[in-house]
């Protein structure tokens, strides 16, 4: 498998999980044209798109994706309702809603060769979700969790972990003291995004025996230090760790596949 990063920041988040038998879009927080370009204007192998929540840096391209791509888009009912009210206040419809699949936390479903479990995330959004994704032909498991300050679940048999690592607490405090960030933003970050320390706690609480790669996503532009985060997570887990960047292609290869 390969992970193609279209965007991974507050400016927009979108990823392509590419396999030999089909691809999944993970979030659509960039303009539709950017998604087309990243796929070389060939969307035929994309079998679905998973949306975590309604904030525009994760759902900016949803409406156009539904109307033009022919791709089924999966999200919670609460996320759907929030997007509906934002785009069409007072109008009980959403363009090409037959392509929109409403799911809920705890639901298991399949999209072609992918078996997926949606789980509850903790974020200041309506019905945010994370996803546990298994690629059936090889049995590989990938966890996708972004925009959450806590993950209450424990996972076994993971091979790849895509997890938000948004900020370093000390850098955030320094930016607040220097007046670069308003104090009012602090609580929002603490109550909606994963810090480096919380990522460490989450990883320590899970079985990492079969993990081959950890990908740190959605790093803050001003409150993160990518090199430090990669180094500290590697030192903690002794796993291969990378920070996602726009345009980056990350190989996800589990021996012997």
Q: pLDDT tens digits, residue range 160-210?
A: 999 999 999 999 889 988 888 887 777 777 778 899 999 999 999 999 999
What's the pLDDT score for residue 86?
72
Closest-CA residue to 58 (of 151, 188, 147): 147
Residues 6+ apart with CB under 8 A from 14: 6, 7, 25, 26, 27, 28, 29, 30, 34, 35, 38, 61
What's the pLDDT score for residue 185?
76
What's the pLDDT score for residue 88?
59
Token pair listed for 113: 């060769």
Containing 240, the helix (H) or strand (E) segment is strand 240-243
Distance CA 82, CA 88 (A): 10
Residues 6+ apart with CB under 8 A from 160: 1, 3, 140, 141, 142, 143, 211, 212, 213, 214, 215, 252, 254
Q: Are 141 and 158 in contact (CB under 8 A)?
A: yes
What's the pLDDT score for residue 44?
92
Distance CA 257, CA 253 (A): 7
Distance CA 169, CA 58 (A): 23
Below-50 pLDDT ranges, the chain: 91-92, 256-257
What's the pLDDT score for residue 102?
94
What's the pLDDT score for residue 11?
93
What's the pLDDT score for residue 95?
57
Closest-CA residue to 173 (of 157, 187, 160, 156): 187
Q: Are 186 and 135 in contact (CB under 8 A)?
A: no
CATH class of 2-251: alpha beta
Closest-CA residue to 26 (of 41, 56, 46): 46
């Amino acid at each position: 498998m390969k992970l193609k990063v279209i965007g991974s920041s507050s400016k927009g988040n979108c990823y392509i999980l590419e396999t030999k038998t089909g691809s999944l879009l993970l979030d659509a927080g960039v303009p539709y044209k950017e998604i087309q370009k990243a796929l070389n204007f060939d969307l035929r192998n994309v079998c679905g798109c998973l949306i975590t929540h309604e904030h525009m840096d994760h759902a900016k391209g949803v409406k156009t994706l539904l109307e033009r791509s022919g791709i089924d888009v999966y999200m919670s009912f609460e996320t759907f309702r929030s997007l509906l009210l934002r785009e069409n206040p007072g109008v009980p419809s959403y363009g090409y809603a037959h392509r929109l699949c409403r799911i809920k936390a705890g639901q298991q479903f399949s999209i072609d060769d992918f078996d997926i479990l949606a789980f509850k995330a903790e974020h200041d959004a309506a019905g945010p979700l994370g996803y546990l994704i298994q690629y059936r032909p090889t049995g590989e498991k990938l966890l996708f969790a972004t925009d959450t300050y806590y993950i209450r679940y424990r996972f076994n048999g993971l091979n790849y972990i895509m997890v938000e690592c948004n900020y370093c607490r000390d850098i955030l405090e320094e930016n607040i003291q220097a007046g670069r960030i308003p104090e009012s933003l602090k609580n929002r970050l603490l109550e909606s995004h994963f810090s480096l320390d919380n990522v460490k706690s989450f990883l320590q609480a899970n079985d990492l025996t079969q993990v081959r790669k950890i990908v740190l996503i959605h790093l803050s532009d001003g409150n993160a230090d990518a090199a430090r985060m990669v180094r500290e997570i590697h030192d903690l887990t002794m796993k291969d760790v990378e920070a996602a960047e726009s345009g980056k292609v990350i190989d996800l290869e589990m021996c012997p596949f």
